[in-house]
Structure 1
Amino acid sequence: MGIRIVIADEHLIFSEALSKCFESVPGFEVVGAVGERSGVIPAASTGGAAVLVASEALIGQPWGLADEMRRRVPSCGIALIASRPNKALASRALEAGVLSVVPKEASLPQLIKAIRGVAAGARTISPDLLGPPEHVSMARTLNDRELEILRSTVTGASLKEISRELYLAPGTVRNLASSAIRKLTARNRFDAARIAREHGWI
């Protein structure tokens, strides 16, 4: 029996083009091509898919859809196509039940190999993306005050409001926020709070 595949990408033309490519791959059978998140689970369940090939935009952050796929269609493995995969993304994807993370610039043979691996229930992922995310070791150095500031940042509080809330001088809050940003290699305070929240540190 062939590998039944559903392709999901926000650009339907990409899904349809990939579907055409797979027609010439022995043992591959595309049973659905969808362009919206709402169509992913129905296509995978009704088509009896063994593998969902999905773009990061449709299955990725937030990872609720991947978690739901694991619950509702447990027989269907997920191969994620990511534009700029990194260790943090790969770590969270694997936690959500994704079995393969394939860079968007990968060749078709690489994607085909990944799909075969997912169909067999195996993780097929570049060794460069395995191991603890770069942020994890940095997060261990965050102190309690820095975590409190990031926790307040998630609520949308300004530096002045955080200063009042934590009974700290505004300059101290700015310094602590800058320290957290540096440790997490974040773009700004809000990006640092996002990183911390996604990893469950706050």
Structure 2
Amino acid sequence: METLAECLAQVAGVTVVSAVGNHRSFLASVTAAAPTVALVDSEHLERQPVTLAAAVRRTQPTCAVVLAVHAPTRAFIDRARAAGVLIVVPKSAGLRTLVRSLREASAGRTVSALQPDFAGGPNGPLTEREADVLRLTASGASVGEMRESLFLSHGTIRNLASAAIKKLNARNRYDAVRIARERGWI
């Protein structure tokens, strides 16, 4: 956490007020410093990040909140937005994206303004293989045809479809296709 704070402190236009490792200190620091943006790193706080973000918004309504999490799903982003979070950044996004996110949040822009960058890549939260299974599903391919095309076993195709369904909060693989198409991921 201190390393991230040191890196951010080197960025022009970014001032790090404090770096804390527990939710009580975090809330106290936000209350005392009244920052423009609070960065919540889910890894370093024992409280659920969305719960903490909601507490920040209650105590400092003018403070924008950015969450850094490992693998944000659409459902997580929706919960975070409902709690007042402006931007959710995957930890894999890199420092440049994090800085841009902090600046966007400071300007009052929401997660939707940067969502394509935070979806995990061109396939959103889906792996390349999960996206392949959904593309083939969309084309009407049977599981047997998918096996031949992707050189994967029936069980692996089923597992990839299940993972895509779960990541997209879909009811079935056809619903997952619809969701992924609507978001431009396949």
**Are 1:110 and 2:110 an aligned pair?**
no
With over 3 angstroms needed to count, the CA separation of the structure-2 counterparts of 1:118 and 1:106, relative to structure 1, is: same
With over 3 angstroms needed to count, the CA separation of the structure-2 counterparts of 1:33 and 1:44, relative to structure 1, is: same
Match of 2:83?
96
Tell me the percent identity. Answer: 34
C-alpha displacement of 1:62? 6.8
2:41 corresponds to 1:55: yes
Look up the match of 1:176.
none
Amino acid at match of 2:29: A
After the TM superposition, which residues 37-186 of structure 1 pair with which residues of structure 2 at under 5 Å, given as runs? 37-57=23-43, 58=45, 61=48, 63-124=50-111, 125-127=114-116, 129=119, 185=166
Look at both structures and tell me which one has the larger radius of gyration over its CA atoms.
1
Q: Decide whether the 8 Å contact of 1:60 with 1:93 is kept in 2.
A: no
Q: CA deviation at 1:69?
A: 1.2
The superposition leaves residues 94-119 of structure 1 with CA deviations (integer Å, 9 ceiling, x where unpaired) of 10111111011111110000000111
> For structure 1, which runs of at least 5 residues remain unmatched after alignment?
1-13, 130-183, 187-202
2:134 corresponds to: none
- Work out whether residues 59 and 66 of structure 1, in 8 Å CA contact, stay in contact via their aligned partners in 2: no
- Say which structure is richer in strand: 1
Q: TM-score, normalised by structure 2?
A: 0.58
Aligned residue for 1:18? 4
Structure 1 residues 22 and 185 mapped into 2: Cα distance closer, same or farther (>3 Å)?
A: closer
Are the aligned partners of 1:41 and 1:73 in contact in 2 as well (CA < 8 Å)? no
Deviation at 1:76, TM superposition (A): 1.0
2:106 partner amino acid: A
Give the TM-score normalised by the residue count of structure 1. 0.53
Between the aligned partners of 1:19 and 1:62, the Cα distance in structure 2 is 18
List per-residue Cα deviations over 1:115-161 (Å, max 9, x = no partner): 001111111442375xxxxxxxxxxxxxxxxxxxxxxxxxxxxxxxx
Q: Is 1:27–2:16 an aligned residue pair?
A: no
Alignment match, 2:136: none
For each residue in 1:36-86, what CA deviation from the matched residue of structure 2 results, as whole angstroms up to 9, or x when unmatched? Answer: 011111111211211111123538737332222111111211110010111
Task: Tell me how far 1:19 sits from its aligned partner.
Answer: 1.3
Q: 1:20 to 1:66 in 2, by over 3 A?
A: same
Equivalent pairs counted in the alignment come to: 122
